[in-house]
Amino acid sequence: MENKMDLSFSAKSENESFARVTVGAFLAQLDPTMEELTEIKTVVSEAVTNAIIHGYDNDESGMVYISAVLRDNEIEIVIRDEGNGILDIDEAREPLFTSKPELERSGMGFTIMENFCHEMKVVSEPLLGTTVYLKKQLTKSKAICR
Amino acid sequence: MENKMDLSFSAKSENESFARVTVGAFLAQLDPTMEELTEIKTVVSEAVTNAIIHGYDNDESGMVYISAVLRDNEIEIVIRDEGNGILDIDEAREPLFTSKPELERSGMGFTIMENFCHEMKVVSEPLLGTTVYLKKQLTKSKAICR
Amino acid sequence: IGEIQRFLRDDGTVKVSRSIKELSNKIRKAKDDLTKEYRRTPTVNEIAIHLGVTPEEVVFAGDANRSLTSIHETVYE
Ligand SMILES: Nc1ncnc2c1ncn2[C@@H]1O[C@H](COP(=O)(O)OP(=O)(O)O)[C@@H](O)[C@H]1O
Ligand SMILES: Nc1ncnc2c1ncn2[C@@H]1O[C@H](COP(=O)(O)OP(=O)(O)O)[C@@H](O)[C@H]1O
Ligand SMILES: [Mg+2]
Ligand SMILES: [Mg+2]
């Protein structure tokens, strides 16, 4: 049977680490490898950081929303903000593209998410906010060694 | 400024540990002692277990709701279910009272919550559900004896 | 079976359960050491700094002894 959780929190940068660990702790129920756990935590960090600094321009009164579903050997994560939104999603997803070069952003957030997940979808509406859908299958090699 | 989070998850017993860790990780921002951390985790366990086994009779389709607010040196936690509710709250809060002696419950859940927190309030409506409000101040003495 | 498990785990598929168990043991030791040094219970940050991990990791791994029993049961038994 599937297991789901929803989490929301203030758009404060201190909460990035909290969000990583929370999603990681939830995923731990599928007993992933350390590599898979690190990948998921990295992906969550990137998406949450984007919501805080791009979505809300660091306005801490904003809220970041995460839902996660565990199903068989798969985790589905949705990370959402109600912030600025993205005008041109294709451009935003390009490697190295950043709208905030002054913050020394790498422009690699979306590229990292895409690489560490099996599926990624970005839906965004200027002034309404951004939603990132992520899906990752875990390796099943573990099952063999039971 | 205050920091808040909301969490909800399926009423599965595997999620008890997830809930403990999540509230604990959020509290970590106030730099509690390891003792205070254990107390908060214990309190969350007790309330979540109650929601799952008493509120929902282990029906995993139910959802458990937790909110937490950090303010100065204090954490406020609200744990809610939309389950069976409690008919007689005074009786339920009595040490050793349990309505499920067949499960070898200790009947000490509410007593533990009361002991580890500075404030506890229980609101419940039969058939609508139960809400437990908890508040705990952290010690400030840490800085002094460093 | 134990051999195969060990091989697979060491081969880049280290299970979270094992790695967390290790951190969990370090946390327990750090807690004892720092309690002696400070003559009071250490805070979560003090342990995190001592071990070079984030405070949130301390919370997560510190719970391992409890939660891993159940993970262990479902996965390996
Ligand atoms: N949640 C969001 N809200 C608004 N804009 C976003 C959001 N996420 C990403 N973007 C836009 O997409 C760009 C690329 O994001 P990313 O690949 O993570 O690079 P970086 O964060 O380093 O700029 C950002 O610079 C920003 O313009
Ligand atoms: N969330 C809840 N929903 C319904 N009943 C509850 C809930 N929490 C507690 N109760 C009632 O209060 C009693 C006492 O709770 P507690 O002190 O935790 O003891 P125990 O869980 O060991 O029975 C329970 O046996 C149950 O009847
Ligand atoms: Mg980014
Ligand atoms: Mg109880």
- CA distance to A44, A48, B34, B79, per residue, from A102 (Å): 23, 19, 40, 42
Which residue, judged by its Cα, is nearest atom 3 of ligand 2? B55
- CATH number at B3-143: 3.30.565.10
Cβ–Cβ < 8 Å for A73, A138: yes
Range of the domain at C13: 2-76
Nearest to A112 by CA among A62, A30, A28, A49: A49
In this predicted structure, what is the pLDDT of residue A106?
A: 87
The percent of residues in chain A predicted with pLDDT above 90, rounded, is 87
In a 3-state reduction of DSSP, which class is residue B137? strand
- Amino acid making up residue A21: V
Mean pLDDT rounded to a whole number for chain A: 93
Would you tell me which residues 14-73 of chain C have a C-beta closer than 8 angstroms to some C-beta of chain B?
31, 38-45, 47, 55-56, 58-60, 62-63, 66-67, 70
Cβ–Cβ < 8 Å for B66, B78: yes
Q: Structural domain tally of chain C?
A: 1
Place of tokens 């720092």: C34
- Amino acid making up residue C5: Q
Domain A3-144 has CATH 3.90.1150.10: no
> pLDDT-based confidence at A145, cuts 50/70/90?
very low
Angle at A19 between CA A13 and CA A22, to 5 degrees: 155
Would you tell me which residues 7-26 of chain B have a C-beta closer than 8 angstroms to some C-beta of chain A?
7-10, 12, 14-15, 17-18, 21-22, 25-26
Q: What is the pLDDT of residues C21-64, one digit of tens each?
A: 899 999 999 999 999 999 999 999 999 999 999 999 999 998 87
Residues C42, B34: C-beta atoms closer than 8 Å: yes
In a 3-state reduction of DSSP, which class is residue C39? coil
Residues A21, C1: C-beta atoms closer than 8 Å: no
| DSSP type of residue C77 | -
Structure tokens at A110: 């979306």
Give residues with Cβ within 8 angstroms of A12, minimum separation 6. Answer: A52, A60, B3
CATH for C70 = 1.10.10.10
- E strands along A1-146, which residues? 3-10, 63-71, 74-81, 119-125, 129-137
Q: What is the pLDDT of residues B59-106, one digit of tens each?
A: 999 999 999 999 999 999 999 999 999 999 999 999 999 999 887 778
